[in-house]
Structure 1
């Protein structure tokens, strides 16, 4: 079974809001899903995102593949950077504290 992290459309006509969900890649866009890990509203300025970051990282570490749009959202929120740093800790490249410091530097620079 291939697991995807993708958007599920909700909302009115011409005013979509999206849930960020983890689902089997064979299920339809608005069909059943495994877990809801966030919301994305493109109509606010800037677009607002509510995300369960720990859950998203957990699914990425298990091998779930994000779609291009979700990958962009994760990149802006720092989820992909945290996953990258955790993989470095897992391989022994640096310690958990060093990874946390690197993420804090990025967070201060981009203020997500």
Structure 2
């Protein structure tokens, strides 16, 4: 390889690195922007309205049974029909988590 070809090959490497770095930064920036825009608004209440019932009798035959014996939480929807996430319970606190309200039972989708 002659000196001119070697200089040309070395001169193009920094350009390739810049293109790769620019592509990486652009991808990271677009990914971060998409993540921020895709996050739904934070829910302010732990009780999310129940989704409409679409199951018929046969489908409901195979739905799970729950035993609420007094020290567990009622099942609560994790996401609303509008895409709002349920914030859940705070760690710690009472054994029952203060999650046995009638509103939670009526909106449990179970």
- Bigger radius of gyration: 2
Common fold: TM-score over 0.5? no
Structure 1 length as normaliser, TM-score? 0.20
TM-score normalised per structure 2: 0.20
Greater fraction strand = 1
